[in-house]
Amino acid sequence: MMLRSLVVFLTAAVAFAQAPAPTSGRRVHRLLIHNATVVDGNGTPAAGPKDIVIEDNKIVDVIARDPVALSRSAPPGIGNHAGVPSGSAPPDAVIDATGKYVLPGLINAHAHLQEERGGKPQPIEYELDIWLACGITTVRDVGSDTRRALELRRMSAEGQIAAPRIFVYPMFGRPKTVEAARAHVRELKAVGADGIKILGIDRDTMEAMEDDAHKLGLRIAHHAGVEETNAWDDIRFGTTSIEHWYGIPDAAIEDGVQHFPSTYNYNNETDRFRYAGHLFREANPERLTKVLEAMVKANVAWDPTMDIYEASRDLQRAQTQPWFAEYLHPTLEEYFKPNPANHGSYFIGWTSTDETSWKENYRLWGAALRQFDGLGGLIGMGDDAGFIYQMYGFGLIRGMELHQEAGFHPIRIIEQATGNNAKILGQEDKLGRVRAGWTADLIVVNGNPLENLKVLYPTGVDEVRNGQTVHTGGVEWTIKDGIPYHAPELFAKVKQMVAEARKSAR
Ligand SMILES: [Zn+2]
């Protein structure tokens, strides 16, 4: 039986080799990813080799090709069971994933579609291409130009532009009355929003808008600042996900208010970011546990966006990231420069004392995330890039690294960036898995992200093999909605776009 399976296996392998590699940006009817090691988005270990069969925009089969699986799936008397579903046509294109890892497409749960920074234009393709090159197949836009975001969502869904799929959560603003809050929820539903992002909202209008949003099936992402509301309100009103972190330790402070100096002004960003670095330390651990437990019970997820605060704990690292050399658009570069008029440019006069406070804050933040996870809480992943030295896509991968530093196993981190984010979006039956019946959003990675998350960076990694330095890594193929994009080609396009923009900026 083993021998018979092997013969069928080899025959099938020859047939696969005859189909061509896909053309970037062009969907074929039947695409095969051959011989992959798969890390699924459900927290299970890597497994392979597997063949993944895609028809149009759906995964139709995931077939184990290891000898044990082959022998199991070839009962005597039934032929052609060694991987190729009986009666199925040969593939139109094949991606040879030998030695590569296949993951669900990454989901960025905290993104902002940006076509300008500081009032200067920046081509949308810059952001979209980097996202795809970083393996991001879905973004949740939590605040941008809503009309434009809805248009881009449609164009992406129709395959008119190379872009991740887009979920639009417009920024809610600050309604003056409960009635206005309810009316605004209905307006956003009517224009086709997928959810709502709230920030700086009053408690009564938050309660009203969440009530209406739940009735209309709109999910809520809450950037909980140090404001009137905190995690207890999210727990009471049924927020889908808390973005960032402030409202969580803030809900666990002994005196009900942080020990700010008398000169503190919340609208001074230097004050705000400096004393934010003390916040986790001021939370009472027992109270924090109660907050985390209540979040779990109320199904409030946590999307911590750890990358976006990294400048606070290591400014020099944030300012000198290697991909800035060739991939930082001059518009974004200008926006990142210290300027009190730009949000996030608080680091003028940032001190070693501030960095030390923030390192401790990260340690306690990571511990709180691990505790939340241990209690059964749902943790997502988003990068909030385009601010504070974080580049689109790169920020998400950096966030994954920071979760590793917090103590999460890379298998869990991949789950957070795929399956968990799909749950936050309410799309867990379609996205975030390498599973038959799910949407064909997948990435093929040059290297093992479980060993080194840095292999996900499109700039790649260097390895020593047989005494030679070999440049490797990066996502090879990003498949979104069944459309294969050759990531290095997109990334080369980004490089050219940046070079040209720099030339004309000079
Ligand atoms: Zn944001």
Averaged pLDDT for residues 307-329: 97
Nearest alpha carbon to residue 344 among 368, 375, 318, 374: 318
- The sign of the CA dihedral 323, 400, 385, 161 is positive
Residue 75 predicted with pLDDT over 70: no
pTM of the model: 0.94
Q: For the chain, what percent of residues have pLDDT higher than 70? A: 92
Confidence (pLDDT) at 18: 78
C-alpha 309 – ligand 1 centre gap (Å): 12
Cβ neighbours of residue 14 closer than 8 Å, sequence gap 6 or more: none
Q: What is the DSSP code string of 230-262?
A: -HHHHHHHT-SEEESSTHHHHTTBTTSS----T
Q: What are phi and psi of 357, to 5 degrees?
A: -60, -45
C-alpha 143 – ligand 1 centre gap (Å): 7
C-alpha 56 – ligand 1 centre gap (Å): 33
Condensed to tens digits (0 to 9), the pLDDT of residues 368-399 reads 999 999 999 999 999 999 999 999 999 999 99
Confidence (pLDDT) at 87: 47
369 within 8 A of 379, measured Cβ to Cβ: yes
Residue 490 CA from chain centroid, whole number: 19
C-alpha 357 – ligand 1 centre gap (Å): 23
Joined tokens for residue 149: 């975001």
Confidence (pLDDT) at 449: 98
The DSSP element (H or E) to which 165 belongs, if any, is strand 165-168
C-alpha 329 – ligand 1 centre gap (Å): 20
C-alpha 492 – ligand 1 centre gap (Å): 27
Residue 443 predicted with pLDDT over 50: yes
C-alpha 73 – ligand 1 centre gap (Å): 48
The DSSP element (H or E) to which 64 belongs, if any, is strand 58-64
Least confident interval from 1-10, 117-126, 486-495: 1-10
C-alpha 384 – ligand 1 centre gap (Å): 5
Q: Which residues surround ligand 1, an ion (CB under 5 A)?
A: 384
CA–CA dist 85, 100 (Å, integer): 23
C-alpha 52 – ligand 1 centre gap (Å): 35
The DSSP element (H or E) to which 149 belongs, if any, is helix 146-157
- Give me the chain's average pLDDT, please: 93
Read off the amino acid at residue 386: G
Condensed to tens digits (0 to 9), the pLDDT of residues 160-219 reads 999 999 999 999 999 999 999 999 999 999 999 999 999 999 999 999 999 999 999 999
Least confident interval from 79-83, 216-220, 267-271: 79-83
C-alpha 149 – ligand 1 centre gap (Å): 15
Name the pLDDT band for 344 (thresholds 50, 70, 90).
Answer: low
Least confident interval from 196-210, 300-314, 327-341: 327-341
Residue 102 predicted with pLDDT over 50: yes
Angle at 453 between CA 352 and CA 365, to 5 degrees: 45
C-alpha 58 – ligand 1 centre gap (Å): 31
C-alpha 333 – ligand 1 centre gap (Å): 18
- The sign of the CA dihedral 172, 178, 182, 184 is negative
C-alpha 171 – ligand 1 centre gap (Å): 10
Residue 76 predicted with pLDDT over 80: no
